[in-house]
Structure 1
Amino acid sequence: MTGSPDPGAARLPRVVVAVPPHLREQFFTPAVWQSLCAAAQPAVLDEHTDRDALGAALPGARALITAWGTPRLSEELLDVADRLAIIAHTGSAVAPYVTEEVFRRGILVTQAGDAMARPVAEVALAFTLALLHRIHRFDHALRGGADWDEASQAPPRHEVQGCAIGVIGASRTGRAYIELARALGAQVAVTDPYLTAEDAQRLAVRVVPLDELLRGSRIVAVHAPATAETRRMLGARELALLPDGAGLVNTARSWLVDEDALLAEVSAGRLDAAIDVFDTEPLPVRHLFRKLPNVLLTPHQAAGTAECRQRLGASAVEEVLRFLRSEPPLHFVGPDALARVL
């Protein structure tokens, strides 16, 4: 554990930064880090997954900045966090790190999910265009040694202008994706039980039941949260409703799709898919997804832009600074956030 070299920092409130070195470099620009050091005494955990190290750092700390892999805040850890008042997560889902006891003790919790919406939506759009134009199939054929004529063979290709695109979940990312797809002329339908008629009108989308969306879409993009209700919401029955030659885009969570059912569909060649998230990560080297010409893969990196990661760090630091200035948080979450399991 390291901290600020400023000898006067001991008079400032302590903030535990449970973020590993490689992510600190990406998350915190010099200006953002300087703003934190000017208002607080950072206690940095290089081994941010070490539960004992976290427990040793928490006594006396007013704030905790968490990253992926930070230990869950159990009652035991909270008991030593005698002055902890705010937890600022540098990601979106807080359920892996926060417990109901955190909220019972009146500790504020914030997250930085807004920062991720745009880059994930851009990747989902890139996936959409690739599937429509079968770019992944051409690339696979050429790299695999197929001759020119053979590599030129692909199912019918389509333009995004006028394309029927279905969006499952009008989340922050879903709405960002809708904006991008509609800007290119797509006709968008949405399934989301929580989308109001006013919001649908504002987004200029049709709200339809899931089965209707699946039957009528050339591309389906998944943007729903991972909750108990959405687990495997796209199973064998649902995937079978997609038209022949349709494409599935998943930059959300593998939780939402029955991976075995999807593998069966793409193995048969009936559907194409573009996937950023998997049941097992890292994706096994011998997994069949890696071999199929009609599947486009990325290793869970949809939100990994330099700009996004800097926004994540800036968001977390700003939440801590607002707390220290006695200002309300911008991205507060309550106990209902625990329903999002991933």
Structure 2
Amino acid sequence: MTETKPLILCAPEPRSLDLIFTPEALAELHARYDLREVDGERLGDLGDATLAAARYVLGQPPISSDVLARMTSLRAVLNVESNLIDNMPYEEVFARGIHVLTTGAVFALPVAEIALGFALDLARGISAADADFQRGNEQWGGDGNAASRLLSGAEVGIIGFGDLGRALNRLLAGFRCKVKVFDPWLPPSILRDHQVAPATLDEVLGTSDFVFVMAAVTAENRAFLGADEFAKMRPGAAFLLLSRADVVDFDALMASVASGHIVAASDVFPQEPLPADHPVRRLRGFLRSAHRAGALDVAFKQMGDMVLEDMALMDRELPPLRCKRAERETARRMRSRPVDRN
């Protein structure tokens, strides 16, 4: 008699199975599991038998208490978008021992690398000098370095020390930077274990040549970086936003750059795509990137590998180890907007 394969309900939007799995990994997925692609917004319309049989949900579609109660075999929700979403009764999920897992760690190194690139660009005026060259306004030799500085040995501040912040800190090691970190969710001993100095937000802002923002949006920190915070930064310091735009008062950020007080770079914006007439597009001293820092195919494919390995562990009644587990105390506090494109 043919053994019934475990059922996975697949709603990975905005990702797709072809995006996050290599052909070999996708073949393995099909060989091990029964895959059912579903409309995530209509999970409750599935029959009781289908919901009761589902062992995993790939994606994080809305799951009501009623639907969750019908999913009697559910072991894990595997979020492949990377932002925890407030669309399920987390307390009930955790009470039943169901894992909520995210694959966002795959983006840490790509984001850290582009953050380093932004910092070097702002420090040495690379893209600005190229634009001047194209217009025939280039300045040769030392004349083109009036505002240049070294990243090596610089005072660096990191706001948020999760996967992104830690990956950046590893890359900065070769530059011998003096790194201070503000992260109210971490005890000082953990920061010291990573050879960074715990600091207050004011200390990070006021003593850093480069400030990297890697903090996720939570219920407590929307727009917590505003005009007062930018005013505390050193004149000419660089502000680099890599996580989510909602942690910043973006108008205040633009005003600080426009005044010449700081320079900035951002991979994220209050609206995405950004309107064609948005003033940040014309703002000198502001380096722009279209939310592409982590969106590398190699990162997407790592998601599939992580999912396969963790499901294999859970199939053996072992805890998942590759994906990041949502915590009871913080899951509902996350407020980062989900992405709607890859």
1:3 maps to: none
CA–CA separation in structure 1 for the residues paired with 2:96 and 2:287: 45
2:340 maps to: none
2:7 maps to: 14
After TM superposition, the score normalised by the length of structure 1 is 0.87
CA–CA separation in structure 1 for the residues paired with 2:36 and 2:72: 16
Counterpart check, 1:65 vs 2:65 = no
Structure 1 residues 227-236 or 82-91, which shifts more?
82-91
1:88 maps to: 78
CA–CA separation in structure 1 for the residues paired with 2:14 and 2:100: 23
- Within a 5 Å distance, the mapping from 1:24-63 to structure 2 comes to 24-45=17-38, 48=39, 50-52=40-42, 55-56=45-46, 59=51, 60-63=53-56
Per-residue CA distance 1:28-47 (angstroms, 9 max, x = gap): 012222332232111124xx
Given that 2:153 and 2:176 are in contact with CA atoms closer than 8 Å, whether structure 1 keeps it comes out as yes
Query: Kindly tell me: are residues 278 and 99 of structure 1, through their superposed partners in 2, closer, same or farther at Cα, counting changes over 3 Å?
Result: farther
Q: Which runs of 5+ in 1 are unaligned?
A: 1-6
2:181 maps to: 190
Given that 1:169 and 1:191 are in contact with CA atoms closer than 8 Å, whether structure 2 keeps it comes out as yes
Q: State the 4+ residue runs in structure 1 displaced beyond 4 angstroms.
A: 152-155
1:211 maps to: 202
Query: Kindly tell me: are residues 236 and 307 of structure 1, through their superposed partners in 2, closer, same or farther at Cα, counting changes over 3 Å?
Result: same
Query: Kindly tell me: are residues 21 and 264 of structure 1, through their superposed partners in 2, closer, same or farther at Cα, counting changes over 3 Å?
Result: closer
The alpha carbon displacement at 1:279 in A equals: 1.4
RMSD of aligned Cα (Å): 2.6
Given that 1:13 and 1:62 are in contact with CA atoms closer than 8 Å, whether structure 2 keeps it comes out as yes
CA–CA separation in structure 2 for the residues paired with 1:54 and 1:149: 63
Given that 2:151 and 2:175 are in contact with CA atoms closer than 8 Å, whether structure 1 keeps it comes out as yes
- Within a 5 Å distance, the mapping from 1:295-314 to structure 2 comes to 295-314=286-305
Q: Secondary structure of the residue that 1:327 maps to in structure 2? A: coil
Counterpart check, 1:75 vs 2:65 = yes
Structure 1 residues 99-108 or 324-333, which shifts more?
99-108
Q: Which amino acid aligns with 1:64?
A: V
Given that 2:124 and 2:145 are in contact with CA atoms closer than 8 Å, whether structure 1 keeps it comes out as no
Query: Kindly tell me: are residues 95 and 129 of structure 1, through their superposed partners in 2, closer, same or farther at Cα, counting changes over 3 Å?
Result: same
Given that 1:86 and 1:107 are in contact with CA atoms closer than 8 Å, whether structure 2 keeps it comes out as yes
Structure 1 residues 202-211 or 72-81, which shifts more?
72-81
Query: Kindly tell me: are residues 73 and 139 of structure 1, through their superposed partners in 2, closer, same or farther at Cα, counting changes over 3 Å?
Result: farther
Q: Which amino acid aligns with 1:229?
A: E
The alpha carbon displacement at 1:92 in A equals: 2.8
2:234 maps to: 243
Q: Which amino acid aligns with 1:315?
A: M
2:318 to 320, 327, 338: 327
Q: Which runs of 5+ in 2 are unaligned?
A: 337-342
CA–CA separation in structure 2 for the residues paired with 1:259 and 1:153: 29
The alpha carbon displacement at 1:221 in A equals: 0.2
CA–CA separation in structure 2 for the residues paired with 1:64 and 1:272: 43
CA–CA separation in structure 2 for the residues paired with 1:210 and 1:222: 11
Per-residue CA distance 1:253-276 (angstroms, 9 max, x = gap): 112111110011112232211101
1:173 to 139, 156, 164: 164
Counterpart check, 1:338 vs 2:329 = no
Counterpart check, 1:148 vs 2:142 = no
CA–CA separation in structure 2 for the residues paired with 1:53 and 1:327: 27
Given that 2:81 and 2:103 are in contact with CA atoms closer than 8 Å, whether structure 1 keeps it comes out as yes
CA–CA separation in structure 1 for the residues paired with 2:108 and 2:271: 23
The alpha carbon displacement at 1:83 in A equals: 3.0
Q: Which amino acid aligns with 2:83?
A: A
The alpha carbon displacement at 1:326 in A equals: 1.6
Structure 1 residues 326-335 or 282-291, which shifts more?
326-335
